[in-house]
C-alpha cells in the first residue's frame, strides 16, 4: 500500500472541507458562532450541523482491509474486519475551535453514533474518541481568542492532536498486531498530517472571508459617516419637506439606489429615482419601529406595491427614532431581492444611527435655543413695566402739581414707547438703535429731575455703531439704577455719564455717577442675583441678557470710582452681520 496514494486520496477529500467552509461563511448563524453569542438551542443546531459534516466526511472516506486500501465512492456499510479512514475528526475539531467544548462534544456524539451504526473494526474506539476529542480541543482553546481566529500554524498543530489521540486508543485496544493493525500503522503519518492540513485550510479560508466581510462593513460605516456629514446642512433645515428633499437627493446620488424615499408618519416628503410611491406603514415598517432596527423587504408584497409594472421589487426600511421627529422612515429601493447585499444592511444601520444621533443633537440645540429665547423675552418684558411704573407714578403726581410739565413728560414717554415697540421683538439691536432709545429715555429723566440731574452721553467718534449689536434696553436700566440708588442722597448737581469707547475691536460701555457708590456688602452680588424682592432686578436682567446673547466677556462689571460714585461697565464684541 503506497503512502503517496493514501496522502493523495486524503487531500482530495479536503476539497469537500473547503466547499463546506465556503457555504458556512454565507450564513448568519455562523457569524453568531464566531462571536460566541449562541443560545443553547443554536448550540444544538450547530452540533448537529458539524456532526452531519463529520458523517459526510466519513461517507466520502475509504476503507482499509488487511490486504488493500479501498477508496469507495461512498461508504455505506463496512465489514467487521475493515477500518474506515476519513477526515471526520476535522469537522469535530473545527466545531470545538469555533463553538467551544459543548458544540465540539455534541458534534463528536453525532459522528460517534454513525461509526457504531457502520459497525467497522474499532467502531467503539471511534465512537468514544470523537466526543472526547471535541471536549478536550474545545476546552483547551476556550480562552485564547474570543473571535476564534488562529494562525495557519496553530490550526495545523491543533488539527493533528485528535487523530493522534485516536490512533493511540486504536492501537491500545488492538489485542495483537494483526495485518489490519499494521496496515493502519503504515498510513498513520499521512492520516495525521491530512487532518492538520484540513483544519488549517478550513480556518484560513474562514478567516479570509470573515475579514473581507468586516472590511466591507468598515467601509460601509465610513461611507455612512461621510454621507451624514454631507447631510448635516439638510438635517438642520427647519422645513421638513426641504430637509427630506435634500436628504433623499444626497442618498440617491451617493448610494446609487433605484429609488430613495423619505417620509414622515403620514406622507411621503420626498422621493428620488424611478417607480411609484408605496404604502408608508407596512407590517415591516411597524416592525422596524417596534424593534428600532433596519428591516429588509425582499418581495413586492412586503413593500405592498400595488403596481404590477413597478420596477421596485425590494427595499431596506430605515426607521428614524429621534426626539426631534421631522422624518420617520428612509426607504432604499432595489430591483430584485438578490440586489440587497449584507453590506447594504450595514450601511443602512450606520445611516440610521448617525442620522438619529444628529437629529437628536439638533433637536436638543433647538430646544435649548427656544428655552433661552423664552428666558430672554421674559427678562426683557420685566424691564419695561419696571420703568413704566416709575414714570407713570411721577406723571400721577405731576398732573396735580405741574400739568405743563406732566404734558411734556407724557410726550417724551410716547416717543420712547414708540421707539421701544419698534424693536420689541428683536433679540439684538444695533448700537445705533440703542443710543437713540437711550437719548429718548434721557429726555424723560431730564424732564423728571430738571436742574437736579445732568446726563452726559460721550461716544468715541471712531466707533462704527452699526457694526455692533446689543440686547435692546441695555443702557436704560443702568441709568435708572444710577439715578434711583446712586443719586438718591444727592439733592443737586447729580451727574450720570454714559461713555462708549473703543478697546481694540470691542466697544466698552460704561455708566457712572457721582453718587455714594456701591456698598461693600452688596457689590459682589450685583448682577448675580436679585437683592430682596425687587432690589437689583433691572441690573440682574441686563446682566443675564448680556451673558446669554454676547457671552461671558460681556458680563457687567461693578466698581466704585476713584473720586467716588459708582461705575458699571461691559464689553460689546464686534459682530458684523448679526442683525
Which of 1-10, 46-55, 62-71, 476-485 reaches the highest mean pLDDT? Answer: 46-55
Residue 148 has pLDDT above 60, yes or no: no
**17-21, 121-125, 451-455, 567-571 — most confident range:** 567-571
At 173 the pLDDT is 82
| Residue 120, pLDDT above cutoff 90 | no
- Residues 514, 530: Cα–Cα separation, whole Å: 24
| pLDDT score, position 142 | 59
* 23-34 residues labelled b (16+ CB within 10 A) or e (exposed): ebbeeeebeebb
Cell of 222: 465610513
List the end-to-end C-alpha distance of the chain, in Å, as a whole number: 97
How large is the average pLDDT for residues 480-491? 75
Is the CB of residue 320 less than 8 Å from the CB of residue 356?
yes
Residue 318 region by backbone torsions, left for phi larger than 0, else alpha for psi between -120 and 50, else beta: beta
User: Quick one: cell of 48?
Assistant: 448537529
**pLDDT, greater one: 416 or 112:** 112
d(CA 20, CA 209): 13
* Cβ contact 353:512 at 8 Å: no
Mean pLDDT of 373-385: 55
Say which residue the cell 441678557 belongs to: 545
Q: What pLDDT does residue 579 have?
A: 44
Model pLDDT, residue 381: 53
Provide the 3-class DSSP secondary structure of residue 225. Answer: helix
For cell 481566529, what's the residue?
A: 149
User: 535, 426, 556, 411: which is closest to 485 by C-alpha?
Assistant: 535
Q: Looking at the predicted structure, is the pLDDT value of residue 577 above 60?
A: no
Confidence at residue 16, expressed as pLDDT on a 0 to 100 scale: 72
What is the pLDDT, as a whole number, of residue 149?
58
pLDDT in tens, 311-360: 888 899 999 887 666 788 999 998 887 788 777 888 888 888 888 888 88
Residue 490 reports pLDDT greater than 80: no
What digits encode the pLDDT tens for the residues 175-206?
A: 665 777 787 887 888 889 888 988 888 888 87
Q: Which of 508, 422, 435, 428 is nearest to 465 (CA)?
A: 435
Average pLDDT for 77-85 = 79
pLDDT at 65: 76
> What predicted TM-score, i.e. pTM, was given to this entire model?
0.46
* Domains by residue range for the chain, with CATH: 3-215 (1.10.1760), 237-360 (3.30.450.40), 402-572 (3.30.565.10)
Q: What separation in angstroms does the CA of 159 have from each of 3, 87, 165?
A: 20, 10, 11
- Return d(Cα 389, Cα 555) in angstroms, integer: 27
Q: Which of 24-38, 83-97, 344-358 has the lowest mean pLDDT?
A: 24-38
Task: Kindly indicate the confidence band of residue 578, based on its pLDDT and cuts at 50, 70 and 90.
Answer: very low
Look at 232 and 4; give whichever has higher pLDDT: 232
- Please give the Cα distance from 54 to 45 (Å, whole number): 14
pLDDT of 63 above 60: yes
Q: Which residues contact 537 (CB under 8 A, 6 or more apart)?
A: 382, 386, 530
Confidence of residue 424 (pLDDT cuts 50, 70, 90): low
Asked if 576 and 467 touch (Cβ cutoff 8 Å), the reply is yes
Residue 421 neighbours by CB under 8 Å, 6+ apart: none
pLDDT at 164: 92
Residue 384 banded pLDDT, cuts 50, 70, 90: low
What's the confidence (pLDDT) of residue 501?
95
What grid cell was written down for 447?
Answer: 424732564
What pLDDT shows up at residue 25? Answer: 65
Amino acid at each position: 500500500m503506497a503512502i503517496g496514494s493514501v496522502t493523495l486520496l486524503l487531500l482530495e477529500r479536503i476539497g469537500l472541507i473547503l466547499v463546506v467552509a465556503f457555504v458556512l461563511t454565507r450564513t448568519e448563524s455562523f457569524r453568531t458562532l464566531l462571536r460566541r453569542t449562541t443560545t443553547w438551542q443554536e448550540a444544538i443546531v450547530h452540533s448537529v450541523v458539524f456532526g452531519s459534516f463529520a458523517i459526510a466526511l466519513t461517507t466520502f472516506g475509504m476503507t482499509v482491509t488487511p490486504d488493500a486500501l479501498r477508496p469507495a465512492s461512498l461508504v455505506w456499510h463496512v465489514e467487521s474486519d475493515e477500518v474506515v479512514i476519513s477526515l471526520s475528526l476535522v469537522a469535530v475539531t473545527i466545531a470545538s475551535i469555533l463553538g467551544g467544548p459543548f458544540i465540539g462534544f455534541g458534534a463528536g456524539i453525532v459522528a460517534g453514533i454513525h461509526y457504531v451504526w457502520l459497525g467497522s473494526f474499532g467502531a467503539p474506539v471511534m465512537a468514544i474518541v470523537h466526543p472526547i476529542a471535541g471536549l478536550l480541543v474545545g476546552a483547551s482553546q476556550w480562552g485564547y481568542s474570543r473571535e476564534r481566529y488562529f494562525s495557519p500554524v496553530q490550526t495545523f498543530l491543533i488539527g493533528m492532536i485528535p487523530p493522534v489521540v485516536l490512533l493511540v486508543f486504536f492501537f491500545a485496544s488492538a489485542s495483537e498486531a494483526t495485518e489490519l493493525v499494521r496496515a493502519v500503522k503504515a498510513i498513520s503519518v499521512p492520516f495525521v498530517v491530512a487532518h492538520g492540513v484540513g483544519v488549517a485550510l478550513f480556518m484560513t479560508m474562514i478567516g479570509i472571508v470573515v475579514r473581507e466581510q468586516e472590511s466591507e462593513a468598515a467601509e460601509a460605516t465610513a461611507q455612512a459617516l461621510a454621507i451624514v456629514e454631507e447631510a448635516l446642512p439638510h438635517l438642520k433645515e427647519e422645513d421638513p419637506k426641504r430637509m427630506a428633499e435634500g436628504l433623499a437627493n444626497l442618498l440617491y446620488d451617493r448610494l446609487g439606489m433605484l429609488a430613495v424615499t423619505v417620509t414622515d408618519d403620514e406622507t411621503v416628503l420626498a422621493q428620488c429615482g424611478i417607480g411609484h410611491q408605496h404604502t408608508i406603514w407596512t407590517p415591516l415598517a411597524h416592525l422596524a419601529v417596534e424593534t428600532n432596527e433596519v428591516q429588509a423587504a425582499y418581495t413586492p408584497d412586503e413593500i405592498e406595491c400595488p403596481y404590477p409594472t413597478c420596477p421596485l421589487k425590494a427595499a431596506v426600511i430605515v426607521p428614524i427614532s429621534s426626539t426631534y421627529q421631522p422624518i420617520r422612515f428612509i426607504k432604499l429601493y432595489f430591483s430584485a431581492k438578490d440586489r440587497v447585499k449584507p453590506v447594504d444592511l450595514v450601511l443602512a444601520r450606520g445611516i440610521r444611527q448617525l442620522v438619529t444621533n444628529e437629529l437628536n443633537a439638533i433637536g436638543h440645540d433647538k430646544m435649548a435655543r427656544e428655552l433661552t429665547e423664552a428666558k430672554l423675552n421674559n427678562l426683557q418684558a420685566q424691564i419695561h413695566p419696571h420703568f413704566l411704573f416709575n414714570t407713570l407714578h411721577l406723571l400721577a403726581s405731576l398732573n396735580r402739581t405741574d400739568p405743563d410739565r406732566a404734558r411734556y413728560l407724557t410726550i417724551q414717554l410716547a416717543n420712547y414707547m414708540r421707539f421701544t415697540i419698534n424693536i420689541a421683538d428683536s433679540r439684538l439691536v444695533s448700537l445705533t438703535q440703542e443710543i437713540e432709545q437711550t437719548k429718548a429715555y434721557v429726555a424723560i429723566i431730564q424732564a423728571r429731575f430738571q436742574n437736579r440731574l445732568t446726563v452726559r452721553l460721550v461716544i468715541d467718534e471712531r466707533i462704527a455703531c452699526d457694526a455692533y449689536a446689543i440686547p435692546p434696553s441695555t443702557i436704560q436700566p443702568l441709568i435708572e439704577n444710577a439715578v434711583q440708588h446712586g443719586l438718591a442722597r444727592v439733592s443737586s448737581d447729580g451727574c450720570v455719564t454714559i461713555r462708549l469707547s473703543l478697546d481694540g475691536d470691542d466697544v466698552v460701555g460704561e455708566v457712572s455717577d457721582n453718587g455714594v457708590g456701591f456698598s461693600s456688602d452688596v457689590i459682589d452680588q450685583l448682577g448675580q442675583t436679585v437683592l430682596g424682592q425687587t432690589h437689583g432686578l433691572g441690573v440682574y436682567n441686563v446682566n443675564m441678557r448680556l451673558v446669554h446673547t454676547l457671552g461671558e466677556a460681556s458680563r457687567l462689571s461693578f466698581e466704585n470710582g476713584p473720586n467716588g460714585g459708582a461705575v458699571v461697565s461691559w464689553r460689546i464684541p464686534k459682530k458684523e452681520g448679526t442683525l
